[in-house]
Amino acid sequence: MNLLTEPVGVAHYMAVGAVLFVCGAVCMATKRNALGILMGIELVLNGANVNFVAFSSRYLQADPSRALGLDGQLISLFVIVLAAAEAAVALAIALNFYNNFSTIDVDQADELQG
Amino acid sequence: MINWHTVLFLLFALVTCTFAVAVVASNNIVRMAFYLIISLGATAGLFFLADAPFVGAMQLMIYVGGTLVLLVFGVMLTAQGPFVSMRTSGGEWVLGVIVGGSLLALLLQAAFSVDAWRAAPLPNPWGATVAANGLEGTVIVQAKQPNRPGGEPWEGTVIRFQSEPESGESLVFYPEGGKPLPTAAEWVAFLNQDPRFSEHLIASLPEGSSGSAPVADGDQVRLARRYPRTDERASGIGLALLGARPDAGGAGRDGNTGYLLPFEIVSVHLLVVLVGAAYLARTKKRVTSDGRTAAD
Amino acid sequence: MAEHLSLYMPEWLAYTLAALVHAFLLINVIAVGALFFIWQERKVCGRIQDRLGPTRVGGKFGWLQTLADGIKLLSKEDTMPKGADALLFRLAPYISFCASFAAYMVLPFSSGYSAIGSTIGAFLILALLGLEVFGVILAGYASGSKWSLFGGMREAAQVVSYEVPLGLSVIVPVVVAGTMDLTAIGDMQRGWFTNWFVFHDPFTFITFWVFFSCATASVNRAPFDLAEAESELVAGFHTEYSGLRWSFFFMAEYGSMFLVSGLGVVLFLGAWHGPIPILEPIAYQTRGEAFHWGGFIANMAGVLNFILKAVILVTVMMWVRWTLPRLRIDQVMKTCLKYCMPIVCFTFLGATIWSYFVPGGLFLKPAQPYGAVRDFSAEYRRPPLEAGSTQDAEQAPAAALPHHAAATPTGAAIPRVAGRLADAPNREARP
């Protein structure tokens, strides 16, 4: 496959989305910093967004009538907006946590263990 | 030769993936934020390449310009040392890489397993042949265009543009009764004037032909692909958010409703989040041990 | 441009060439612009402070002063503090500059003279301009200095806050025009200066001043330059920078000053149209894509008009900088949230209602776009052509042919009638 001349398809976009998703998931699992976890969430959401946009595009599929069209773009817009909202709330929680515990290491938040 | 779309895609995809991995690999939280900015910025580039410029601009505006500034702000507010890093232990790394790697392998395999998702886009309409057959009848335009819902023909109009990959591409002209055959130059001018055609293709006479004679069998018209200003669907997005679906032929038909209700819900949601985040992050009064209230 | 070229050479080569030409021109705009503006700033500052400003370098008026400055900066030692984050410290100026440069892509210098003719141009400019803040934040953070950190934090807070009223004030002319395409917005303001959107109705008039204040704030100019408040923070975010890296921050600053001024000119001040429509007769005869000298001259005059107006706005920014005292950070936030926001919300509402009931504005007839604004629903539900319109459509090529025969005398070259004017009869222009 000659990558310089061959047109890209949905699968290529999905591969990028998969990398973003996996990076985000690993990031969420391994980071101990609350904000690092938040960044992992952003990566996961973006991986999903890449897929939505790729499926909405008419230029990436052999049969353009199967493209999602505006729906894919609209859903990715909603994802972006909700991610912004989620980040604001998560950041407020992180700040609160920091105010109470003077750290942002989520491993320290184990008071519910009793 | 070089397909710039592919090259740019590869560039942006490489940047996106590299810096996404860098976010995971880095331990310095500020560096992580920086890598995330670049990764998401390159994702916006991917959106532009996928013919979704409005989403791409939105990503730059809200995600990169808003959310990530907020995130960096949070990093600055909660950083204790000059450059905070929290180490992840080696065992966690191994586990993370194994699980993540197998998940990635699964997803990649899934992505490349469906043939329809790998296929190439639009056929390249260069060098179509003009065939003038039939001396009577109306000139009919039929366009089988991928951008139109259902690809239905426009009836009662002027040119038939068939685009069938197996049989090759041909323009079929049916001159109207009693009228003389148009000259090649007239056809070219006409093709370029009809927005249904000229939105997608530019027609021109090949080098050396005068174009003043009537169209004959085997005449050539050179067609160049026009790259339309496809981001005009930004207005479609706006209309869809208001409940009308221009791309689906109006509101409410065939279950294709707009997104008015989700839009409203998201708006209210944002308002609630605004208030909630402000409430959560406000400076709290705390009763100290000697009974006085003090700011936190 | 790439489409024109692609008729003569392979497509990929045409696109490469077109991209290179555009990038070259835009880099020149920024670099020469910065050279000029730095000199101009010194002169304006000098005059306001009753001095002469630079007078020596380059003979008259010291017009080579900036070049001398540049050579001095090049020869300076490139220092980096010990506690700095080396990578981010090195990258930060370039991020600032790239964001400023990228936003130029969609700025039209004359009708259609933009590197990317995007229909979401106004939005895209704001989005790209918003990225400039990252350079400043990262510079502040990576310097490992408290002054810089405070500068960066202030910048972050200020720019994120001011993006909201700035965006809303850009929406007002967008509502009036009915499109986000900067070229179309500019084309609608043709004719006498009363057609400029700033005079469209009282609300746009107010909005222009809010826009200008917010734009000044969003590019960090005095009286909003809290990020580099030298009386409190030494030099703010660029305290630790020296030499060439420092000058990149300045290039970015002057670049974005010109950019927001240009945006203001396109949105409110008639874009590339002069106050009196002298060249309009030859400018708009030739709206096709074929090259025509009349259109070319008119467009070049348009470029001059545009640059002149933008430079005037930049000069006003300088004038403001050297006459007004700097605000405190709480006053900056107050100005944004308590004054700009309510005003611009009010004018947004007002302009919406106004353009619903009085579509034409105060002085002018309803502005007719040149087919650039498309009725989206009509696109998708195109009625079958009737007999009359078919007639029209069939006569059109005949009418168009002589013109093209004149433009391309051999006939062997490329007759092309495509373009917006050609599409106009089939698209309903919206008032």
More confident residue, C291 or C225: C225
**Between C116 and C379, where is the model more confident?**
C116
Residue C429, class by beta-carbon neighbours within 10 Å (0-12 exposed, 13-18 middle, 19+ buried)? Answer: middle
What is the reported pLDDT for B18?
Answer: 93
Q: Is the ipTM, as predicted for this complex, more than 0.95?
A: no
- For residue B5, give the chain C residue with the closest CA: C12
- Please tell me if residue A18 touches chain B, with a CB cutoff of 8 Å: yes
Residue C416 carries which DSSP code? Answer: -
Question: How far is residue C142's CA from residue B253's CA, in Å, rounded to a whole number?
Answer: 56
pLDDT at residue C171 greater than cutoff 50: yes
**Hey, what are B171's tokens?**
């323009």
Q: What is the pLDDT of residue B268?
A: 93
* Four-residue CA torsion sign, C124, C127, C132, C135: negative
Nearest to B246 among C83, C377, C394 (CB): C377
Distance CA C48, CA C198 (A): 28
Residue A68's pLDDT band, with cuts at 50, 70 and 90, is confident
Q: How far apart are CA C368 and CA B157, in angstroms?
A: 28
Q: Mean of the pLDDT values across residues C385-398?
A: 38
Is the separation of the CB atoms in C183 and C372 below 8 Å?
yes
A28 contacts chain B (CB < 8 A): no
* A24 interface with B at CB cutoff 8 Å: yes
Mutate to test the interface with C, among B142, B159, B231 (most CBs of C within 10 A): B231
H/E element, B163:
strand B160-164
Q: Which chain A residues are within 8 Å of B93, Cβ to Cβ?
A: 30
φ, ψ at B114 (rounded to 5°): -95, 120
Residue B219 C-alpha, separation from nearest chain A C-alpha, in angstroms: 30
B154 and B196 in contact (C-beta within 8 Å)?
Answer: yes
| Interchain CB distance below 8 Å, C7 and B202 | yes
Compare CB distances from A87 to B29, B67, B78 and report the shortest one's residue.
B67
The rounded distance, in Å, linking the Cα atoms of B152 and B178 is: 28
pLDDT at C157: 81
Task: Check: CB of residue C348 under 8 Å from CB of residue C251.
Answer: no
Dist. CA B108–CA B111, nearest whole Å: 5
**Which residue ranges make up each domain of chain A?**
32-102
What pLDDT shows up at residue C218? 85
d(CA C226, CA C221): 9
Chain B hits for C134, CB-CB cut-off 8 Å, are 37, 64, 68-69, 72
Give the pLDDT score at B12.
Answer: 92
Reply yes or no on whether the pLDDT at C225 is more than 90.
Answer: no
Task: Tell me if chain B has a CB within 8 Å of the CB of A35.
Answer: yes
The average confidence (pLDDT) of chain A is 82
Mean pLDDT of C311-328: 87
pTM check: above 0.80: no
Q: Assess contact for A20 and A43: CB atoms under 8 A.
A: yes
The pLDDT of C231-236, averaged and rounded, is 69
Return d(Cα C279, Cα C283) in angstroms, integer: 6
CB atoms within 10 A of CB A1: 5
**C56 to chain B, closest Cα gap in Å:** 43
C-alpha B119/C-alpha B7 separation (Å) is 17
CA dist C182 to A61, C179, C372, Å? Answer: 31, 8, 10
* B33-79 pLDDT tens trace: 889 999 999 999 999 888 788 889 889 888 888 888 888 888 877 76
Burial per residue of A53-69, b for 16 or more beta-carbon CB atoms within 10 angstroms, e otherwise: bbbbbbbbbbebeebbb
Residue holding tokens 């502005």? C367
Alpha carbon of B124: minimum distance to chain A alpha carbons (Å): 11
Query: Which positions ≥6 away from C213 have C-beta within 8 Å?
Result: C335, C340
Locate the chain B residue with the closest alpha carbon to C421.
B193
CB distance A73 to A56 below 8 Å: yes
Q: How confident is the model at residue C11 (pLDDT cuts 50, 70, 90)?
A: low
pLDDT recorded at residue B1:
59
Determine contact, residues C2/C30, Cβ cutoff 8 Å.
Answer: no
Q: CA of B90: which chain A residue's CA is closest?
A: A30
Residue located via tokens 């921050």: C249
For residue A36, give the nearest of B32, B62, B120 by CB distance.
Answer: B32
In the numeric block, the tokens 């013109």 are attached to C403
Does the distance separating the beta carbons of B247 and C157 come in below 8 Å? no
Structure-model confidence comparison of residues C146 and B15, the more confident one: B15
**Which amino acid is located at C7 in the chain?**
L
> Would you place residue A43 in the very low, low, confident or very high pLDDT band (cuts 50, 70, 90)?
very high
Residue A73 near residue B54 (C-beta atoms within 8 A): yes
Q: How far is C327 from chain B (nearest CA, A)?
A: 22
A85 interface with B at CB cutoff 8 Å: yes
Contact present, C58 and C35 (Cβ < 8 Å): no
pLDDT band at C404 (very low <50, low <70, confident <90, very high): very low
Q: What span, in angstroms and rounded, lies between the C-alpha atoms of C186 and C184? A: 5
pLDDT of amino acid C353: 87
Confidence (pLDDT) at C92: 86
> Does residue B98 surpass a pLDDT of 60?
yes
CA C386 to chain centre: 43
Q: Rounded to whole angstroms, how far apart are CA atoms B8 and C116?
A: 16
The verdict on a CB contact (< 8 Å) between B7 and A11 is no
H helices present in C234-292, as ranges: 243-267, 280-283
pLDDT at position C430: 36
Q: Which of A28, A37, A46 to mutate to test binding with chain B, by most B CBs within 10 Å of its CB?
A: A46
Residues of A with CB below 8 A from B17's CB? Answer: 16, 19-20, 23
B223-266: pLDDT as tens digits: 555 544 444 567 777 777 877 766 654 444 455 567 888 889 99
Out of C85, C118, C390, the one facing B30 most closely (by C-beta) is C85
How much is the CA Rg of chain B, to the nearest whole Å?
A: 29
Neighbors of chain B by Cβ distance (3+ pairs < 8 Å): A, C
Collapse the DSSP code of B131 into the 3-class scheme (helix H, G, I; strand E, B; otherwise coil) and give the result.
strand
CA distance B180 to chain A (A): 38
